């Protein structure tokens, strides 16, 4: 990049020009407080104020010296300005940002001094919450992988760190009986019913479904790029779903709207709303469990791993194989045997032995 080109601003920072022509920088996350940052960008002073605003800590009384550029918070700040960070999905960025902030609360060491034993200790300290330990390690590995490639450190201290092993089934999947019970409580024409049918037929995550609308629909074909994996999924909406959409109050750009007709502003608020509707129907499960049911139904009907990947927006085949391995093996075995028998009729001779009656009839 040319030195004459303006440097990309960090996350949540805006550049403004005063009526006198002075360039100013402000930090604001969502609808939070607007924080004025130093005018000198880039600079150690700017970095200190930015990270203070990002972490919610009070700015240091004394400005950072150039030695601060060897600290972990400086490295995190540079990583969050990088193209690699920008290429990560918004959901992953948000998750990792919180993990970096939690790491910085425990101190701000020189990043070059962080060794594998330190990373192993940090992971082990989170052993009581295995999922958190796993995500923490992934976040730190991504940070130091970038740091190695950009010559900030010579080696990745996450290499060789043993993750916390755990087994979990995650969110409990829905059962067909749960769907019937939900539909008895929420009839066609209600937003909860439409949300249920959309979850099952589209396979979308809650973060995508609350943004879905008629702009993604062409006839009965629905296409949308998912936020988590940036993969475009394309599915066909069945007639009953199109009828439910027509019978339900929707927004101009959103299938699901609140009681006041406004769309949900976040996946969290949408997820909480749907969970509450599930409780009202007597079901103690979440939206993600519907996604599991949809994948299970598809796998039981013989969908291949790649077909599941296309519908659910997965980028790793292991995710799809989780469902194909759990598919109803008895039903699939019978279905497969019928296929084999059909092929055998085409290749086996129709004649019988000389001492046996010929009972085979060619159709």
Mean pLDDT, residues 234-247: 94
* Rounded Cα–Cα distance for residues 200 and 290 (Å): 6
- Between residues 74 and 229, the one the model is more confident about: 74
- Supply the CATH number for residue 82's domain: 1.10.150.130
290 shares a domain with 149: no
pLDDT above 50 (res 20) = yes
Instruction: Verify that 183 and 313 share a domain, yes or no.
Output: yes
6 confidence band (pLDDT: 50, 70, 90)? low
Q: What is the pLDDT of residue 301?
A: 83
B/e letters for 47-63, b = 16+ CB within 10 Å, e = fewer, are bbbbbbbbbeeebeeee
**Separation of CA 115 from chain center:** 30
Please check whether residues 103 and 194 belong to one and the same domain: no
Q: What is the pLDDT of residues 118-152, one digit of tens each?
A: 999 999 999 888 888 999 999 999 999 999 999 99
pLDDT band (50, 70, 90) for residue 363: very low
Q: Is the pLDDT of residue 209 over 60?
A: yes
| Domain match, 189 and 301 both | yes
Tokens of 27: 């930090």
- Strands 13-17 and 221-225, sheet pairing: unpaired
This prediction's pTM: 0.57
| pLDDT score of 330 | 66
Of 30-34, 166-170, 175-179, 310-314, the one with minimum mean pLDDT is 166-170
Do both 129 and 145 map to the same domain? yes
- Last residue of some domain: 64, 88, 112? 64
Q: Are residues 146 and 29 in the same domain?
A: no
Mark whether 116 and 240 lie in a shared domain. Answer: no
Residue 95 shares a structural domain with residue 213: no
What pLDDT is attached to residue 334?
67
362 part of a folded domain: no
Task: Assess if residue 103 is contained within a domain.
Answer: yes
pLDDT of residue 61: 46
184, 311: one domain: yes
* pLDDT band, very low/low/confident/very high, at 277 (cuts 50, 70, 90): very high
As separate numbers, helices (DSSP H) first and strands (DSSP E) second, the chain gives 15, 6
Does 133 lie in the same domain as 6?
A: no
Asked if residue 310 and residue 185 are part of one domain, the reply reads yes
Give the confidence band of 242 by pLDDT, cuts at 50, 70, 90: very high
**pLDDT single digits (tens) 77-95:** 899 888 888 888 777 888 8
Calculate the average pLDDT of the chain: 83
Percent share of the chain, pLDDT over 90: 40
Lowest-confidence segment of 127-131, 161-165, 339-343 by average pLDDT: 339-343
- What pLDDT, on a 0 to 100 scale, did the predictor assign at position 351? 52
The domain tally of the chain equals 3
> Which run of H or of E encompasses 298?
helix 287-300
Label residue 154 by pLDDT band (50, 70, 90): very high
| Domain boundaries, position 263 | 176-329
Q: Name every residue whose Cβ is closer than 8 Å to that of residue 95 and which is 6 or more positions away in sequence.
A: 135, 139
Do 19 and 144 fall into the same domain? no
pLDDT of residue 193: 96
pLDDT reported for residue 140: 96
Tell me what pLDDT residue 55 has.
78
> Picking from 56-65, 167-176, 298-307, which range would have the lowest pLDDT averaged per residue?
56-65
Task: Name the DSSP letter for residue 71.
Answer: B
| Domain C-terminal end among 119, 146, 168 | 168
């Amino acid at each position: 990049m040319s030195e004459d080109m303006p440097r990309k601003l960090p996350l949540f920072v805006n550049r403004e020009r005063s009526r006198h022509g002075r360039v100013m920088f402000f930090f604001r996350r969502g609808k939070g407080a607007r924080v004025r940052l130093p005018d000198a960008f880039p600079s150690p002073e700017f970095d200190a104020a930015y990270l203070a605003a990002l972490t919610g800590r009070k700015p240091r009384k004394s400005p950072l010296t150039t030695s601060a550029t060897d600290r972990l918070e400086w490295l995190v700040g540079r990583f969050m300005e990088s193209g690699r960070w920008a290429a990560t999905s918004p959901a992953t960025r948000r998750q990792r940002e919180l993990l970096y902030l939690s790491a910085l609360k425990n101190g701000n060491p020189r990043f070059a001094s962080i060794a594998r034993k330190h990373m192993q200790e940090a992971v082990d300290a989170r052993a009581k919450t295995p999922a958190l330990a796993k995500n923490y390690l992934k976040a730190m590995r991504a940070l130091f992988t970038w740091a190695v490639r950009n010559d900030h450190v010579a080696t990745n201290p996450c290499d060789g760190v043993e993750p916390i092993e755990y087994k979990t089934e995650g969110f409990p999947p829905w059962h067909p009986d749960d769907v019937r019970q939900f539909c008895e409580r929420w009839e066609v024409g209600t937003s909860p019913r439409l949300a249920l049918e959309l979850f099952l037929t589209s396979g979308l995550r809650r973060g995508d479904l609350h943004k879905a609308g008629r702009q993604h629909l062409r006839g009965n074909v629905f296409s949308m790029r998912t936020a988590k994996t940036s993969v475009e999924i394309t599915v066909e909406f069945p007639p009953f779903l199109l009828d439910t959409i027509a019978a339900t109050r929707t927004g101009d750009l959103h299938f699901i709207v609140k009681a006041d007709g406004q769309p949900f502003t976040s996946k969290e608020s949408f997820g909480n709303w749907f969970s509450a509707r599930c409780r009202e129907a007597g079901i103690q499960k979440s939206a993600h469990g519907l996604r599991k049911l949809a994948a299970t139904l598809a796998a039981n009907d013989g969908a291949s791993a790649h077909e599941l990947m296309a519908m659910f927006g997965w980028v790793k085949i292991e995710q799809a194989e989780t469902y194909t391995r759990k598919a109803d093996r008895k039903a699939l075995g019978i279905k497969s045997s019928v296929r084999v028998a059909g092929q055998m009729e085409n290749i086996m001779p129709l004649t019988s032995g000389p001492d046996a009656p010929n009972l085979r009839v060619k159709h």
